Structure 1
């Protein structure tokens, strides 16, 4: 099954945007603290402009953009969108222009991801919307204006999730399988953030095709559970079609939890801020409040509830997003003060 998956991937063009594979590392200090064996897949260490999961997805999507002779990438997201940062970076790497449509929100300060987008020269359009996941109307207006100017825009949806872009995480799943075999690790569970569901579903398919049967656990960062399960159905069907896989391939145990979102997408919950502190103070690894911090909060809650026994093996996917912590500096400062981690003179 692995060989057929690799052959199927070869049918689709891909542009190289980042250094791969990323490390799969043991976390010995955190493991001792939790009395578990914890590993982390470090997709925060992709080397395109401060890293993260998006380059894997963009490698396939931008191959389509180049084939269409596009001269401008157009995408959308929140004010502190990791996807906007990395799409802009990819555009620059390939000699393309970039326009990004961003939702106005409380994190619209010129720092973090937004600062990098301006530094790289993207044309930024801010719009008022109650939901940054629903910006397509504004994107299409920008694309229409570009076409009227004689430009050739290529639209990449929010978070960069398309059937083709998900192929990047089929490749990542194969990479994880090889690294687990080399390190002789058989995880009892794998945790990943769950946004649009494309990465989660691609990993699920790729892992099951390799016979890796442990639970894959998604921690939702924005959608309620029922919508997440619908998204898995959608992406599973699309990926099975692209890869000529049997869509009835057993999916094994997978779980999605939505109780760690907080008030809304991007809400820096107390649990996520505690998770960020714990990872920083045990392993010196930074998480973000939007994706990896929420995933870590979910894992820690399950551990506290007694789900995982001493010595069990857990793999965490770090999806990146670190620049966002600078836009959340006030929330992080207040949290550090509440936890007595900074002197009174700084609080």
Structure 2
């Protein structure tokens, strides 16, 4: 049974507008040398778009199966996941509670503004690290059950074995687009947060016969932690899809994170300016900006040149730009 057929065995809600475009970036390509293609998952359609609707199509199908009436999740103050989980819950007729970790980006802007507009019940908590919010989610779920509600918990970033199926489907979609256009990529560049997207796309692209490097750019964890997450999600996906075999070697880089998750590094901000001014495409300061910064650094080091084709995933997150206006204004001033 092929991978596409196995995917059809799992329940799915339709939340994303797909297939998303695979765009050639002609002006940037002419400037750099290699042919750069951008997989536009910023254009999935739901509440300003991004990667999460693909994942939530499978995860919230489980919530509907269990007759949940409220979704509970967590993230940072400018969490794309909080925005899109709230939107998906609303689309499917459910309420949403989001537990957000207090940080410097607490202005009513960007993703936080959209979460409020969508009517989420927002709980702001103080934690050492916003990746440590799961205990607060469990507490909220217990409160809701005591009040007679039926909550469905979605972990930070929405990464579960079932949600990974959304990016297995995306990988099959991308493979079909590459075959249709005759593009033969020398590499794929993907963000690495919790690892679900990276693992699922790697799973599908390797299944479809793409043997070129699949490069993960970490936005939060060191390389060792990322490798552990990759192996974890590969095992979970393999179990779910009835796949045998050890995970392949994963190329993951952690030198573009900066001081912490969400830190708008100079390389990230430069990447945002470059892509905006060559292609009129807006990247975000947390995921796609750093993914592009990784690709640009490798290009500058001589890894990619004319004749190469490189595919970069735009995973969305553009609303966060507005919450980062101070950092962007300062960077614009530095760059004249």
Q: Give the alignment's TM-score, normalised by structure 1.
A: 0.96
Q: Secondary structure at the match of 2:46?
A: coil
Counterpart position of 2:133:
135
Counterpart position of 2:312:
316
Counterpart position of 1:345:
none
Distance 1:31 1:309 in 2: 10
Contact 1:237 1:247 in 2 (8 A): no
Deviation of residue 152 (structure 1)?
Answer: 0.4
Distance 1:326 1:338 in 2: 19
Distance 2:16 2:26 in 1: 27
Deviation of residue 309 (structure 1)?
Answer: 2.2
Contact 2:227 2:250 in 1 (8 A): no
Counterpart position of 2:34:
36
Distance 1:139 1:109 in 2: 23
Note if 1:275 corresponds to 2:256.
no
Counterpart position of 1:344:
none
Equivalent residues in 2 for 1:96-245, closer than 5 Å: 96-245=94-243
Deviation of residue 105 (structure 1)?
Answer: 0.3
2:301 to 291, 300, 305: 305
Deviation of residue 319 (structure 1)?
Answer: 0.3
Contact 1:83 1:158 in 2 (8 A): yes
Contact 1:221 1:266 in 2 (8 A): yes
Counterpart position of 1:332:
328
Q: Secondary structure at the match of 1:121?
A: coil
Q: Secondary structure at the match of 1:59?
A: helix
Give a deviation string over 1:27-77, Cα, whole Å, max 9, x none: 100000101111010000000000000000000000000000000000000
Deviation of residue 247 (structure 1)?
Answer: 2.6
Q: Secondary structure at the match of 2:39?
A: strand
Q: Secondary structure at the match of 1:63?
A: helix
Q: Secondary structure at the match of 2:48?
A: coil
1:4 to 2, 9, 13: 2
**Paired positions, count:** 336
Q: Secondary structure at the match of 2:163?
A: coil
Contact 2:288 2:315 in 1 (8 A): yes
Counterpart position of 1:52:
50
Distance 1:243 1:22 in 2: 24
Note the residue ranges of structure 2 that are not aligned, 5 or more in a row: none
Contact 1:236 1:247 in 2 (8 A): no
Distance 1:202 1:64 in 2: 19
Deviation of residue 254 (structure 1)?
Answer: 3.3
Distance 1:63 1:288 in 2: 28
Deviation of residue 311 (structure 1)?
Answer: 2.0
Counterpart position of 2:69:
71
Note the residue ranges of structure 1 that are not aligned, 5 or more in a row: 341-347
Deviates more, 1:300-309 or 1:178-187: 300-309
Deviation of residue 4 (structure 1)?
Answer: 1.3
Distance 2:197 2:187 in 1: 16
Give a deviation string over 1:210-229, Cα, whole Å, max 9, x none: 10111000000000000000
Deviation of residue 308 (structure 1)?
Answer: 1.1
